[in-house]
Structure 1
Amino acid sequence: MGGISIWQLLIIAVIVVLLFGTKKLRNMGGDLGSAVKGFKKAMGDDEEKHADKTDKDADFQQKSLDESAEPSKSDKTRNDKEQV
């Protein structure tokens, strides 16, 4: 009663084809398809970049615990001179 029937959709489709022509409709469909593909690719690239950023904590290399716990000999000498 309130919905659109198949016959009404067919009449609308025929009117659209008569107004725009099949060639222009085909071009619009291709443009729309390439736009959707580009959007999906951009979203996929964005997710990959986001995943790469979460894997790293910082841009510098981490030191091992042995390197950070034992200061080098020159550091000990320098610290002694500063304290005197």
Structure 2
Amino acid sequence: MVSNEQPHDPRACDGALTKAFGFLGKRWNGLLLATLMNGPMGFSDLRRAVGGISDSVLSERLGELGRAGLVARAVTEGPPISV
């Protein structure tokens, strides 16, 4: 039997795991993702659900999560407009 799969490279796995844990280990990221697993939330709702996070840090972390493709930002036309 011939396999078309690429050979396993442990170094690639180690690099991916290091990146994942570095990202998830950053303060608030894991908690934000866990909170959003329950469904979409607006900024204010998310801030209330994750007590102790400042608006600026929440905005920064959501931007990071968005750039990583882990969350999506959706704007609904109003009135009122919500994100």
TM band (smaller chain)? under 0.3
Query: When you count helix as a share of all residues, which structure comes out higher?
Result: 1
In our comparison, the structure showing a higher alpha carbon Rg is 1
Q: TM-score normalised to the size of structure 2? A: 0.25
* Relative contact order higher in (CA < 8 Å, ≥ 6 apart): 2
Q: TM-score normalised to the size of structure 1? A: 0.25
